[in-house]
Structure 1
Amino acid sequence: MHYALNLRTFFYSHYFHLGLRFAAGLVGVTIIAQQFAGMAVAMTVCIGALCTALMDMPSPLKHKFNEMLASVLLCTAVTLLISLCGPVPWLLMTMLVLVSFFASMMVVYGKKSMPLQLATLFIMTMSMEHQMTARESFRHAGLFLLGSVAYLGYAMALAWLLRHRIKQQVLAEALFELAAYIDIKADFYDTRYNLTEQFNKLVRHQALLADRQQASRDLILRSHQNRKDAIVVQIHVCMLDLYEQILSTHTDYALLRTHLADAPVLATLHDLAYKAARDIESVGYAVTRKLPSHAAISYAPEMEALEAAIAQLQADANAGKPAGEALAVLRAQRNKIRAIIRMIGELHVASQKEYEGTPFWVDADMQPFLSQQKYELQLMLSHFRMDSPIFRFSLRVAMAIAAGLAVGHVLPYAAHSYWIVLTIVIILKPSFSMTKQRRSDRIVGTIIGCVITALILKFVEAQAVIIGILILATVATPTFIYVRYRYAAIAVSIMILLQMHLIAPGNTSLITERLVDTFIGAAVATVFSFVLANWEYQTLPRLIRQVLDVNLRYMQASFDLLQGKSRNDFPYRIERKRLMDSLAGLSAALVRMMDEPASKQRAAEDINLFIVQNYLLVAHVAALRAILRRHVKDIPADAVNAMLAQSHAQVFQTLSRALAQHGQPMPPQPAPTSAMAAAPEPATEPGAHADVAWSGWPVVQRRIRLLQADADKIIVHSEAIVRNVSISAM
């Protein structure tokens, strides 16, 4: 369950606060406007505020102002343009299609441009029903601009006042998602769950976690100037370090299940992971309430049981029973769990202190960690080609809206073309799977919303109660739009229908007409979702090349850090973030492909395993870092570095071959060192280093064997993907 849907955390989430801010702004602007003019003027001002409110999302202040100002200017221009064209039907139809196309092209600027596209198409739809003179058009646009600017000023003032609070809420969301990530890992110890399915679930959630961590970075690392900001920075840094430690806990779960299936120690490990997740949630919950967090969970019973299980396995091994491998894995997991518990303790402490300065990298350039948003005209123009998914999507939207207008024009009943077009705008998305999900949510949400509204109008006569319900629906609409769109569709249906009832009471056909118009719009959007469709398998080769390319750079930075060539882990952190982002992008594309028709799916199993194997490489590197830190005493640096260098060369060659399979030239091999020539094979048994007494040899060698084995599997899946995807995409 999403943390914002839990009653315990719902009222502290930034989603609920967004709903309150949204409703207070809209209602406030409308009431003030109504005091100086009639309801018609107030509604125009309200629509202006509504379009600007669609851009009211957690963002750094400068970015937020630029995004909302772009909405104010663009939506005002569209309002004026459509209003001026209203008296000339053919010109109006032409402008509607052109605006639809160019508004959809804005999707090229990324996820944050999606609300701007929606706001533009929404005001285009709202403006097309009214025929005005030129004078009335300018007056209408002026009132719209007034409402937009009023909400802009209101939103920016609140964002400045609550800037630290918003950082806390976004950081807390990342902590809750990290806890959910650990819950998935806990089930690896439960034999009732299939390991392959758990890996798939883990990788899918990793994409969501990466998105939440990026949102936290963008808000927290752009500006951190006072003591309060220093606290959230410290918690954020501790969270990222804890995440890497959690990555390192990946182990041979199949081996543990084989040797310890009937032993209670697996349940103990599951309980430890479950407690760790609840512990992290407690930090997130404290952050949402602006309180310091204090450890309240004891791991002592489980740790004692784990130590007893290790002692029993040691006794079995001493007695000649085959328990050696399971014992080594269990000891490694115990050490990692200890480290995780210690780091969760540091997370609690980080929320309690006030820092004089920010503890992040001093004078470091944070730009590689932050989302880069550039709104350049050249970027849009570069996508004016038929092989561009964004260009094809824009054509698809324009054609669908033209068809929706035509259908609304010929229907025998008093159809509302703007409602049909609005339904098309809301449902039709860049990918088939997103369109499919949005269509389902829109239809179900509209039906439920219409039924609820009908019951309200039948049994509630007091206007004050209806207005109260309207305000609640206004709060719920933005609250759920990014969490559960179906709930938002219910709320927005109630909100709009109650508004129309208050403006024009007595219209008994209002609800029925909206339902019919919604079904028509959904049908048109469904038909056009197949027109010039961009199927996910067509983008997979590019995403796979990107993963392999970034993984090569990540491995270079990782082994430089492991071998001590780089004392600063800043480059390693950057490359790890880039690799996780690229894996999240590929994983999201795979999930979307699985929602498409079966005939458009390619190599789903191999792509999934390809993602898992790349993810495991990150886990193995994180484990190697943890091992080298834990066994730093008496480490034979030259021998270890030579072994790491040889392993790096082998993994680099493997990934380069996989990249070459996808049409990329093989990058130059890392230059060999003199130590590499004298290095023993990384896969040799621990006895090969008997002349060097170091406790880390067995675990380092075992982890390197796993790293190389998983790298080799990438080649196998890469070949299968080339056969099934690349050829089809040609």
Structure 2
Amino acid sequence: MHYALAPRTFVFSHYFYTGLRIATGVVGLSCLTYAFADLRTAMAVAMGALCTSLMDMPSPLRHKFNEMLAAVLLCSLVALLISLCSPVPWLLRTVIVLVSFLASMMVVYGRKAMPLQFAALFVMMLSAEEAATPLQALRHGALFLAGGAGYMAYAMAVVWTLQRRLKQQVLAEALYELASYTNLKANCYDIATPLPSQLEKLVRQQSVLAERQQASRDLILRGKPGPDETSLVQVHYAMFDLYEVVLSTHTDYALLRRHFAEGPTGGPVLELLGDLIGKAARDIESVAYAMTRNRPSRRVVDYQDDLRRLAEVLRTLPSNDEDDKTREAQAVLRATSNKIRETIGMIARLHAASRAPHGALPITPGADLTPFLTQQRYSIGLLLSNLRWSSPTFRFALRVAMAISAGLLLSEWLPYQSHGYWTALTIAVILKPSFSMTRQRRADRLVGTLIGCVLTAIILRFVHAPAILFGFLFVATAAGPTFLYIKYRYTAIAASMQALLLIGLTLPHGASAINERLLDTLLGTLIATFFSYVLPSWEYQALPRLIDAVLDANRKYVDAAADLLLGRSVDDFHYRVRRKGFMDSLANLSAALGRMLDEPAAKRRAPEALNRFTVQNYLLVAHVAAVRLLLQRYAEHMPRAQVEAALEQTFAELRARLGMAAPGGEAPPRERSGPAAPWAGWVPLQRRLKLLHQDAEQVTQARAALDEAPGRRG
């Protein structure tokens, strides 16, 4: 379950704060306007505030200003244009098709542009409901602009005042996802859980974690931190150091399972390791929990008994076993014990950082953090370059324009009094760029609308006092944005209640609107379902590009890792940038794979090979991280020349494997010399380097399997 859905964390999440802020702004502006004007004026102002609120998402202040200003100007222009065209039916339909197409083309700018696309469609449908004279259209546009600008000023003031609180909440969310990631690792020691499926879950969670970590970077690292934000920066950097330690431990499960699943100490050892990692996950969660409450965190988990038992198990391991496999498994168990202790130590750093409001910032003065931050660019050239038949965005825009046009036409022929904009809004809500998202929205919209209509019917049946109805309207307005990104079905319930409560307040005898909304939603769902198969862009069509991006990022990461481990880099800045790029590309491929599995079976291409390719790339990152930490752990008395020679040879082999023109070729012969000096790190290092070579080989084989899969290029 998503952390924000749990009762103990819900009211402290930024999702709840956002919903509360939006409801207060929209309903507050509406009531304020109604106090000085009529209801029609108040509703026009509320419409402007509501459309602008769709862009009120957690963002850096400058980005938020740009996003909300774009919503105010664009939606006001659409409202004015549609109102001016409303008296002429053929002109209105033409403009609706054009606006639908252009608004949907905006998704080319990424996920943050999707709310703006919907806002433009939303105001377009509401403005097209009634014909207006030119004077009425100008008045409607002016009121809409006033509502949007008023909400923008209110939201910017609130977020500026509470920006530290927002940073806390977004950082806490990244910590919650890191805790979930760590907890999945604990399940890898459970022999009842198939290891391949657990690794798949780890890769999926890695995608979610990468997204939340990026949101944390964008808010915390952008600009100069204030005097009261020092602890947030420290916790942020401690989180990433902890993440690298946790990442490096995701590599030895198969060997530990084979050798310690049975026997006098076997089963308890694996259970003990899982318990320790599970406690570490709860410990990380406690840091996030305290941060959302604006409190310093302190350790609430006791590891001592488990660590003592683990130490006893390690002491009882036979030291004279001549079986190489057994000795290797014992060495891995000891290394895993060390990593668990490092993880616990890193979590202690997290706790300490949350209690150090004025410590030194872990940022090199003058460091350019731009490569780590999301850049907001909205060039017209990108939009124009996608005005081509092969562009998925162009096809999506055509699909939306055709579906909305069909919905408006069909609603005019229905035997009952249809609200055409409800049908069109249902289409706009359901139709998304990917089939997977469309399918999920379709189910949530249907179920949510049904529940919302039933709840509203009960409320309107027994509640007649306007003040109480306004209270329900406030709750529905708050719930919509609160659950938009974590449980859309609840948002659909809230949206239905919001619309029907507004009708109940303005039209006391509008109970029939509930039945009409159900019918219009069903019609819109059927139309959206049909058009989801029109001009489709299936996920497998983008897979070659995503796979090549992963391989390219992989090569760059290996080069950066080689520079760092061989001492050619003065610090790990370049390494962290390349690791972020590699993880981002891997997350994109993993997300595409997940969406493809929701598509019709005939449109899936080699899901097993794709999953293997993704997991093996993930393991390669984990092994590189493990090598780095191993060299840090055994830095004392390290024979630098011999170690660098071994690393040079391994990275040369990795480059040869990952950079081959044709998958399946042979790598250069491996000639690895034995240890030239007594050093405790030789055996674990040689094992890691061997695993790195195997990873690269597995990546190459998985790539070859993908190239041979039917329809790979089709």
Partner of 1:672: none
Contact 1:97 1:399 in 2 (8 A): yes
CA separation in 2, counterparts of 1:586 and 1:447?
35
1:420 paired with 2:423, answer yes
Partner of 1:381: 384
Structure 1 window deviating more from structure 2 (346-355 vs 219-228): it is 219-228
1:30 deviates by 0.4
Structure 1 window deviating more from structure 2 (20-29 vs 261-270): it is 261-270
Partner of 1:52: 52
Partner of 1:285: 289
Contact 2:189 2:274 in 1 (8 A): yes
SS at match of 1:44: helix
Contact 1:105 1:390 in 2 (8 A): yes
Aligned Cα root-mean-square deviation (Å): 1.7
1:649 paired with 2:652, answer yes
For residues 671-722 of structure 1, give each alpha carbon's deviation from its aligned partner in whole angstroms, at most 9, with x where no partner exists.
Answer: xxxxx9xx9834x6xxx22x41011110001011111101101111111111
For residues 35-92 of structure 1, give each alpha carbon's deviation from its aligned partner in whole angstroms, at most 9, with x where no partner exists.
Answer: 1111111001000000000000111111100100000000000000000000100000
SS at match of 1:539: helix
1:296 deviates by 2.3
Contact 1:561 1:568 in 2 (8 A): yes
Partner of 2:396: 393
- After superposition, where does 1:458-473 map in structure 2 within 5 Å? 458-473=461-476
1:294 paired with 2:279, answer no
Count residues in correspondence.
709
1:271 paired with 2:275, answer yes
1:221 paired with 2:221, answer yes
1:314 deviates by 3.1
Partner of 2:144: 144
1:344 paired with 2:347, answer yes
Partner of 1:723: 708
Partner of 1:111: 111
Structure 1 residues 320 and 107, CA, compared in 2 at 3 Å: closer, same or farther? closer
For residues 98-146 of structure 1, give each alpha carbon's deviation from its aligned partner in whole angstroms, at most 9, with x where no partner exists.
Answer: 0000000000111110111010010001111110110110001000011
1:252 deviates by 2.4
SS at match of 1:729: coil
1:651 deviates by 0.5
Partner of 1:694: 679
CA separation in 2, counterparts of 1:371 and 1:551?
21
Q: Which runs of 5+ in 2 are unaligned?
A: none
Amino acid paired to 2:45: V
Q: Tell me the TM-score normalised to structure 1 length.
A: 0.95
1:370 paired with 2:354, answer no
SS at match of 2:581: helix
For residues 553-604 of structure 1, give each alpha carbon's deviation from its aligned partner in whole angstroms, at most 9, with x where no partner exists.
Answer: 0000001111111131000000000000000000000000000000000010
CA separation in 1, counterparts of 2:323 and 2:110?
61
1:622 paired with 2:612, answer no
CA separation in 1, counterparts of 2:38 and 2:242?
57
Contact 1:550 1:575 in 2 (8 A): yes
The one of 298, 304, 308 equivalent to 2:308 is: 304
Contact 2:272 2:310 in 1 (8 A): yes
CA separation in 2, counterparts of 1:375 and 1:319?
65
1:293 deviates by 1.0
Amino acid paired to 1:509: S
Contact 1:226 1:357 in 2 (8 A): no
CA separation in 2, counterparts of 1:627 and 1:728?
39
For residues 172-199 of structure 1, give each alpha carbon's deviation from its aligned partner in whole angstroms, at most 9, with x where no partner exists.
Answer: 0000000000110000001111101001
For residues 364-400 of structure 1, give each alpha carbon's deviation from its aligned partner in whole angstroms, at most 9, with x where no partner exists.
Answer: 1111001112111111000011110000000100111
1:467 deviates by 2.1
CA separation in 2, counterparts of 1:251 and 1:104?
43
1:66 paired with 2:69, answer no
Amino acid paired to 1:278: R
1:570 paired with 2:573, answer yes
Partner of 1:705: 690
1:503 deviates by 0.5
1:256 deviates by 1.2
CA separation in 2, counterparts of 1:3 and 1:372?
28
The one of 671, 678, 696 equivalent to 1:681 is: 671
Structure 1 residues 655 and 318, CA, compared in 2 at 3 Å: closer, same or farther? closer
Contact 1:643 1:681 in 2 (8 A): no
1:354 deviates by 2.1
1:508 deviates by 2.7
CA separation in 1, counterparts of 2:415 and 2:443?
27
Partner of 1:673: none
Contact 1:109 1:373 in 2 (8 A): no
SS at match of 2:709: helix
1:291 deviates by 1.0
Structure 1 residues 568 and 320, CA, compared in 2 at 3 Å: closer, same or farther? closer
The one of 587, 592, 597 equivalent to 2:590 is: 587
CA separation in 2, counterparts of 1:12 and 1:360?
29
Partner of 1:5: 5
CA separation in 2, counterparts of 1:555 and 1:577?
12
Partner of 2:560: 557
1:464 deviates by 2.8
Contact 2:426 2:524 in 1 (8 A): yes
1:411 deviates by 1.2
Contact 2:256 2:329 in 1 (8 A): yes
For residues 171-228 of structure 1, give each alpha carbon's deviation from its aligned partner in whole angstroms, at most 9, with x where no partner exists.
Answer: 0000000000011000000111110100111100100000000000000110233222
1:159 deviates by 1.0
Contact 2:663 2:701 in 1 (8 A): no
CA separation in 2, counterparts of 1:42 and 1:660?
66
1:298 deviates by 1.6
CA separation in 2, counterparts of 1:436 and 1:483?
16
CA separation in 2, counterparts of 1:573 and 1:196?
28
Contact 1:234 1:360 in 2 (8 A): no
CA separation in 2, counterparts of 1:366 and 1:72?
31
Amino acid paired to 1:681: E
SS at match of 1:46: helix
1:355 deviates by 2.5
For residues 434-484 of structure 1, give each alpha carbon's deviation from its aligned partner in whole angstroms, at most 9, with x where no partner exists.
Answer: 000000110010011111111112233333322222211111111101110
The one of 637, 642, 656 equivalent to 1:639 is: 642
Structure 1 window deviating more from structure 2 (38-47 vs 323-332): it is 323-332
CA separation in 2, counterparts of 1:314 and 1:83?
84
